């Protein structure tokens, strides 16, 4: 499932990998600085949402239901991680 | 059983998309989590001090590990100063009393005001703050990773330090504040060192002393319920359920070659796994 999707759009999934790795590295580098870690999570989730719009637009299946789905996943991540930062 | 399969397995009954991955259920997860957060917040307001972070930090350990860091940088050890220790304690108590977490108080008092209030005459001075840390090594490590805090610890001009480890309730949550003041006296100290100074200045580096008598506080000995641990547990359960549903949904869809309009399972799984790792490995503690 995973490999099939990646093989179909390798560049787009590489871009996603870049977004996620950059976000993770920045988050770790800002350890003990919750203010900055929160902003990194906002940025990573926003970048993921933007990636999804581009990805589905290219595939030609960008729909309101898909936009809502990604929006909820991004929101879910932001809320959960932000609340554990002290 | 049928209802359970609808949650995870795509089929005609759920429009070929696991119910858990549909907007309604995702919204429900978010609502449950927000409810939990509201409940925790309410507890901090109604019963301040029930939730909190336990700590095993002591003045001796902070002093010892600060000097260890200085020794690693070929710098002389800092002498323990009772005056700076007193100013650090006043600062910590002021933060608890006025419920703030910053170098400057809401009334505008700076760290230097607290130092001056103890009649400590200095040529240079500095302040490091930390809260919510469980142990001293992770706190000192966090300071050393921050350029501004590191500069205070390994500053060539500083000769003395004073440390306060104070327990109290900040923002409704029981925690331990650590205030470390650094300074160089304007004139060389001529008075006799206090008993506390004698004791602490004779400590070997990186020693692991037990909590000193002056810091023992019955409030800390009782274990606290960490609000972060509660949030992390609930969050992890939700993440695992959603990732599990994504995997099952993806595999079944691929197996049945179902054509449908849905987000990328690969993208969602990758994103959620990274976020889950970051949430799990977030280290406790905050510096200022």
Q: Does B53 touch chain A (CB under 8 A)?
A: yes
Are B145 and A84 within 8 A, CB to CB?
no
pLDDT of B283 over the 60 cut: yes
Count, in order, helices (H) and strands (E) of chain B: 11, 5
pLDDT tens digit sequence for B69-94: 999 999 999 999 999 999 999 999 99
pLDDT of B215 over the 60 cut: no
pLDDT tens digit sequence for A6-62: 777 789 999 999 999 999 999 999 888 888 999 999 999 999 999 999 999 998 989
ipTM score of complex = 0.93
C-alpha–C-alpha distance, residues B91 and B166, integer Å: 10
Q: Which residue has the higher pLDDT, B143 or B213?
A: B143
Instruction: Look up tokens 């858990």; give the residue.
Output: B20
Strand B286-287 versus strand B122-131 pairing type: antiparallel
pLDDT tens digit sequence for B151-201: 999 999 999 999 999 988 888 888 889 999 999 998 765 566 666 666 666
Are A81 and B279 within 8 A, CB to CB?
yes
Q: Give pTM, 2 decimals.
A: 0.73
Among the ranges A16-25, B35-44, B45-54, B134-143, which has the highest mean pLDDT value? A16-25
Q: Which residue has the higher pLDDT, A8 or B218?
A: A8
> Which of B263, B270, B276, B283 should one mutate to test binding to chain A, selecting the residue with the greatest count of A CBs within 10 A?
B263
Tokens of A2: 């995973």
| Whole-number pLDDT of residue B61 | 92
The whole-chain average pLDDT of chain B stands at 85
Whether B10 and B16 have beta carbons less than 8 Å apart is answered as yes
Are A85 and B282 within 8 A, CB to CB?
yes
From chain B, the residues in CB contact with A20 under 8 A are 270-271, 274
For residue B212, give how far its alpha carbon lies from the nearest alpha carbon of chain A (Å).
Answer: 27
Pairs of residues, one from chain A and one from chain B, whose beta carbons lie less than 8 Å apart: 125
Are A70 and B132 within 8 A, CB to CB?
no
Distances (CA, A) of B236 to B5, B41, B274, B281: 22, 20, 12, 12
Are A72 and B282 within 8 A, CB to CB?
no
| Whole-number pLDDT of residue B212 | 33
| Whole-number pLDDT of residue B174 | 84
Contacts of B142 (CB under 8 A, 6+ apart): A31, A32, B130, B133, B149, B283, B285, B287
Are B254 and A1 within 8 A, CB to CB?
yes
Tokens of B221: 């000995």
Which residue in B has a C-alpha nearest to residue A42's C-alpha? B275
């Amino acid at each position: 499932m995973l490999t099939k999707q990646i093989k179909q759009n390798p560049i787009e999934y590489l871009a996603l990998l870049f977004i996620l790795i950059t976000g993770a590295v920045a988050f770790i580098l800002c350890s003990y600085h919750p203010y900055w870690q929160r902003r990194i999570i906002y940025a990573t989730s926003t970048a993921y949402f933007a990636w999804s719009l581009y990805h589905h637009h290219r595939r030609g299946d960008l729909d309101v239901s898909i936009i809502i789905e990604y929006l909820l996943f991004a929101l879910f991540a932001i809320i959960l991680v932000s609340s554990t930062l002290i | 059983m049928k209802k359970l399969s609808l949650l995870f397995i795509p089929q005609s009954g759920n429009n070929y998309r696991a119910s858990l991955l549909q907007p309604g259920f995702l919204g429900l997860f978010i609502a449950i989590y927000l409810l939990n957060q509201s409940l925790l917040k309410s507890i901090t307001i109604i019963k301040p001090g029930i939730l909190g972070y336990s700590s095993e930090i002591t003045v001796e350990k902070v002093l010892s590990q600060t000097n260890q860091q200085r020794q690693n940088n070929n710098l002389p050890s800092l002498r323990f100063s009772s005056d700076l220790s007193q100013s650090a304690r006043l600062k910590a108590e002021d933060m608890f009393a006025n419920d703030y977490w910053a170098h400057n108080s809401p009334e505008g008092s700076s760290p230097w005001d607290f130092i001056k209030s103890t009649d400590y005459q200095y040529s240079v001075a500095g302040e490091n703050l930390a809260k919510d840390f469980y142990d001293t090594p992770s706190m000192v490590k966090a300071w050393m990773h921050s350029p501004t805090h590191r500069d205070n610890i390994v500053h060539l001009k500083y000769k003395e330090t004073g440390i306060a480890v104070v327990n109290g309730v900040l923002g409704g949550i029981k925690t331990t504040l650590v205030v470390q003041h650094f300074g160089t006296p304007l004139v060389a100290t001529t008075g006799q060192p206090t008993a506390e100074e004698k004791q602490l200045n004779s400590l070997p580096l990186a020693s692991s002393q037990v909590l000193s008598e002056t810091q023992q506080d019955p409030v800390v000995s009782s274990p606290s319920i960490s609000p972060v641990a509660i949030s992390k547990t609930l969050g992890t359960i939700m993440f695992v359920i959603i990732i599990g549903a994504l995997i099952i949904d993806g595999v079944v869809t691929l197996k049945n070659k179902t054509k449908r309009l849905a987000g990328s399972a690969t993208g969602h799984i990758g994103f959620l796994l990274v976020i889950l790792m970051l949430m799990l490995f977030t280290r406790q503690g905050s510096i200022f």
